[in-house]
């Protein structure tokens, strides 16, 4: 009996389907084509896989809309090409279309009698399988629309080219930083420093978690202040400590923090408690959290805070100030779409509305400091001065 149980368990284990990791296994094969010595971390591979899946979903949705608008029943190569014209731009678009047409031409040239070219990806001469892209185009079996033979091959070759470009640029960052394995920091810098890839990520609203920030300091913060020269009569004493120029230590700290990536700043335990309390207040169902949810949510919130402070700091620099004021955050919030009608920003606005008096006082002091040479006088003050002068003249006449 025990032997039969062991056999049934072993058969169940063998019959279990492996989880499909989509493009993960093929990303490492593309990397080997670029350089055999370099590698990639698991976290970077997973995030790049999710990026490629998101791009393929977006393109397949656009192709479906274009075919339905044209009142057609099959997705052809033209619909995929038109969708790519909407999403991509510049040389990235030109090279991607060239690679797609090249792979389609290889299939038409290959004869059916060849035994070596059994699969479609071998016939086309690509690494990414067209079966995966066909699933995205069919919306994983939910759509009833037909697909031509060349459209999934064309999309697979385009996705492979995008992956090739990202990995090629990230390997250059690896060589500069003198490490072998590609990290998320390398992927983030390679995408953000390239204009066309950056535009693609901004269009689709994609970003790598834990990629960090691009190192940048505004030119107004790097202005050197003048130091008064000491007279020759003054003697230096050992007790006097070395003094830096104004702002040098702050700029050193900025550069240090901008190099740090893939690490959370806020403490985990109070953040988890806050998320749990908010969830249990608004939700009555007995649901639980996994640990990954807190990590991902914290990454998103910290990234949002960094972007908010960076953009509001540009407003303060434009106003001629170095320090950040709450009014700058409110002003930036009013410019963005979140300033109106977003329920998550209302409590912040109510908080600041309670302190309007303090804000007005701060604004008045800043206006006075910026306009020291200009003396503004109200009409009421002028009238009081005129009345006092008239009284003094009357008193002098009576005497």
Which whole number is the average pLDDT over 5-21? 49
**Residue among 172, 187, 223, 226 at smallest CA distance from 45:** 187
Geometric angle at alpha carbon 27, from 181 and 190, rounded to 5° = 55
pTM: 0.71
Q: Are 168 and 186 in contact (CB under 8 A)?
A: no
Which segment of 13-22, 189-198, 369-378 scores lowest on mean pLDDT? 369-378
Task: Give CATH 1.10.20.10 domain extents, the chain.
Answer: 20-204, 264-371
Which one is predicted more confidently, 11 or 158?
A: 158
Per-residue pLDDT at 373: 40
Which whole number is the average pLDDT over 243-263? 79
Per-residue pLDDT at 264: 85
Backbone angles phi, psi at 40, to 5 degrees: -145, 140
CA dihedral (252, 257, 259, 265) in degrees, to 10, reads 170
Which one is predicted more confidently, 171 or 342?
A: 171
CA atoms within 13 A on the CB side of 89: 12
CATH for 264-371, options being 3.30.70.890, 2.40.160.10, 1.10.20.10, 3.90.550.10: 1.10.20.10
For residue range 213-237, list pLDDT tens digits in order: 888 887 777 765 555 555 554 545 4
Which one is predicted more confidently, 322 or 64?
A: 64
Residue 374 has pLDDT above 70, yes or no: no
Question: Which band of pLDDT confidence, cut at 50, 70 and 90, is reported for residue 278?
Answer: confident
Q: Are 185 and 127 in contact (CB under 8 A)?
A: no
Which segment of 112-121, 174-183, 273-282, 378-387 scores lowest on mean pLDDT? 378-387
The answer for residues whose C-beta is within 8 angstroms of residue 174's C-beta and 6 or more apart is 38, 180, 181, 182, 186
Per-residue pLDDT at 100: 92
Which whole number is the average pLDDT over 109-134? 77
**CATH topology (fold) of 20-204:** Histone, subunit A (1.10.20)
Residue 58 to residue 52: CA distance in whole angstroms: 10
């Amino acid at each position: 009996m025990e032997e039969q149980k062991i056999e049934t368990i072993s058969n169940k284990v063998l019959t279990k389907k492996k989880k499909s990791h989509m493009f993960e296994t093929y990303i490492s094969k593309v990397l080997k084509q670029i350089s055999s010595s370099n590698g990639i971390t698991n976290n970077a591979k997973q995030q790049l896989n999710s990026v490629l899946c998101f791009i393929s979903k977006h393109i397949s949705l656009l192709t479906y809309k274009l075919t339905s608008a044209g009142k057609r029943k099959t997705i052809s190569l033209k619909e995929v090409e038109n969708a790519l014209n909407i999403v991509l731009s510049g040389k990235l678009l030109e090279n991607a279309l060239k690679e797609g047409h090249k792979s389609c031409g290889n299939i038409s040239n290959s004869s059916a009698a060849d035994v070596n070219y059994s699969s479609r990806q071998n016939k086309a001469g690509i690494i990414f399988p067209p079966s995966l892209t066909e699933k995205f185009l069919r919306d994983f079996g939910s759509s009833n629309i037909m697909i031509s033979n060349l459209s999934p091959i064309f999309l697979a070759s385009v996705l492979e080219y995008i992956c090739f470009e990202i990995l090629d640029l990230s390997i250059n960052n690896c060589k500069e930083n003198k490490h072998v394995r590609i990290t998320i920091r390398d992927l983030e810098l390679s995408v953000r420093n390239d204009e066309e890839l950056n535009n693609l990520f901004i269009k689709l609203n994609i970003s790598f978690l834990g990629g960090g920030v691009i190192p940048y300091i505004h030119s107004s913060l790097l202005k050197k202040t003048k130091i008064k020269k000491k007279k020759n009569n003054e003697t230096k004493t050992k007790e006097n400590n070395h003094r830096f120029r104004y702002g040098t230590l702050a700029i050193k700290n900025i550069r240090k923090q901008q190099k740090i990536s893939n690490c959370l700043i806020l403490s985990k335990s109070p953040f988890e408690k806050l998320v749990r309390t908010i969830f249990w207040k608004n939700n009555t169902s007995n649901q639980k959290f996994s640990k990954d949810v807190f990590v991902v949510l914290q990454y998103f919130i910290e990234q949002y805070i960094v972007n908010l402070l960076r953009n509001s700091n540009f407003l303060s620099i434009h106003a001629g100030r170095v320090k950040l004021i709450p009014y700058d955050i409110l002003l930036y919030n009013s410019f963005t779409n979140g300033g109106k009608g977003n329920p998550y920003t209302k409590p912040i606005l109510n908080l600041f509305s309670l302190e309007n008096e303090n804000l007005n006082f701060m604004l008045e002091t800043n206006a006075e400091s910026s306009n020291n040479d200009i003396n503004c006088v109200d009409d009421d003050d002028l009238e009081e001065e005129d009345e006092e002068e008239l009284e003094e003249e009357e008193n002098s006449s009576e005497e």
